[in-house]
């Protein structure tokens, strides 16, 4: 009976850890965006080196400003999409708490935190604040933020898990 209670506690705490990671992403994303709004005027730039600028951009679209020029419907579309995906991820993380699939859980937590971070912007501001501008061979890469970075790293972890780990873990489930 005691082992059962310990296992239940471990399962709940692992879910809590993944939730905490998502909350930390949301916190740091919103903190950095607050700093940008406070100290850098729209389209202002602070050069860090020849490869990186800190800037203040507004993105009404999705990645690479996809649908940014739409008439406004995209805001609610992206909010609905992100909330729906976030709900699925929370349920998925809850189910994963018993499996010990760390890479998959971490990837999902990073995607969750990033998605919610950008949803907060869309709900409050009507657009997402982007501020990290990188230059590759002198050409600017699309500007992004902490949430976007988290989503990207999370997606990479999901791909790694899918290609190299999930099949091995499925044998033990």
Catalytic residues: 130, 148
The secondary structure element, H or E, covering residue 146 is helix 146-160
Distance separating alpha carbons of residues 122 and 62, to the nearest angstrom: 11
Classify each residue of 122-161 as buried b or exposed e, where b means 16 or more C-beta atoms within 10 Å of its C-beta: beeeebbbbbbbeeeeeeeeebbbbbbebbebbeebbeeb
């Amino acid at each position: 009976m005691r082992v059962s209670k310990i296992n239940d506690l471990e399962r709940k705490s692992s879910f809590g850890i993944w939730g905490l990671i998502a909350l930390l992403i949301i916190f740091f994303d919103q903190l950095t965006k607050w700093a940008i709004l406070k100290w850098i005027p729209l389209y202002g730039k602070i050069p860090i080196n020849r490869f990186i600028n800190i800037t203040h951009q507004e993105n009404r679209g999705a990645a690479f400003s996809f649908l940014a020029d739409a008439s406004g419907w995209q805001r609610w579309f992206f909010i609905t999409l992100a909330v729906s995906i976030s709900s699925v991820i929370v349920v998925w993380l809850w189910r994963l708490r018993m499996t010990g699939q760390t890479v998959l859980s971490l990837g999902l937590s990073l995607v969750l935190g990033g998605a919610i971070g950008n949803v907060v912007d869309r709900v409050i501001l009507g657009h997402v604040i982007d501020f990290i501008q990188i230059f590759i061979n002198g050409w600017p890469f699309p500007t992004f933020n902490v949430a976007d970075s988290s989503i990207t790293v999370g997606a990479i972890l999901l791909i790694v898990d899918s290609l190299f780990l999930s099949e091995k873990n499925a044998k033990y489930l």
